[in-house]
Amino acid sequence: MYDALQFPEEVKVKLAVPMLKGNAKFWWIAMKAAVQGNGEQLTWEEFKGKFYNQYFPQSVRLVKQNEFLTLKQTENMTVLEYASKFNELGRFCPQFMEEEISKANRFEQGLRYGIRSRLAVLLFTSYQDVLEKALKLEAELKRSEKERSDQKRPKMTESLSDRPQNLESSTNKKKRFEVCTYCGKTHGGPCFKKMGVCFICGQHGHLARDCPNKKKNDSEPTELGAQLLH
């Protein structure tokens, strides 16, 4: 922060010291006594170097630097979460963070492909510009994904008007003309063969071939005879 504001070297150290707490404050008291005893004055770069050596040994810094260099936004990581991790680890790689163009380029390259590929046609000169564009694009992608999901969702109910109108009538019709289990033919009403009556007039005492109504009805079947044709 102080580097970006371009404070004089001696002012940067004076501004940083009051922010030290706990063990860090005691460390500075001892460090200041040793430095002033030698008649020296710490520069900002020297102060940062000694502070990092005390609280971030070389082995730790190397691990953090590697984490920063390999940092990528995962599919389940938001842009803000990625930005927070980027700035946290960026402290250990100041060569990428001190210049805005370098910082912006590094941040852009770590974005997930769906966002990075859409930003590739743009030219950024600041980290803040990349961050704002990435946040807007992320929101737009989420909105588009939700719309596609809603369109693919099947309808849960079916209106009565969508049902086949002839379903009930066709079912009843099929039941009305079932095959008789006694004579093996299809007809409505009682089975004349089972009742032992004339197939033409429906009376007892004679067969269809001897029916007195046979000639009368040769050209015009009776209602009972017509049932046998179904």
Are residue 139 and residue 197 in the same domain, yes or no?
A: no
Domains held by the chain: number: 3
| Residues contacting 72, CB < 8 A, separation 6+ | 110, 112
pLDDT, tens digit, for every residue of 165-181?
555 555 555 456 677 87
* Residue 221 belongs to some domain of the structure: yes
Instruction: Provide the pLDDT confidence category of residue 198 given band limits of 50, 70 and 90.
Output: confident
Are residue 51 and residue 64 in the same domain, yes or no?
A: no
* Residue 6 belongs to some domain of the structure: yes
pLDDT at residue 50 greater than cutoff 70:
yes
Instruction: Provide the pLDDT confidence category of residue 186 given band limits of 50, 70 and 90.
Output: confident
* Residue 171 belongs to some domain of the structure: no
* Residue 167 belongs to some domain of the structure: no
Are residue 126 and residue 198 in the same domain, yes or no?
A: no
Q: Which has more confidence, 178 or 76?
A: 76
Its domain, for residue 191, covers 179-228
Which residues on adjacent β-strands are paired with residue 179?
186
pLDDT on residue 6:
64
pLDDT, tens digit, for every residue of 97-150?
989 999 999 999 999 999 999 999 999 999 999 999 999 999 999 999 888 888
* Residue 149 belongs to some domain of the structure: no
CA angle centred on 214, ends 209 and 219, rounded to 5°:
130
Type of residue found at 210: D
pLDDT at residue 226 greater than cutoff 70:
no
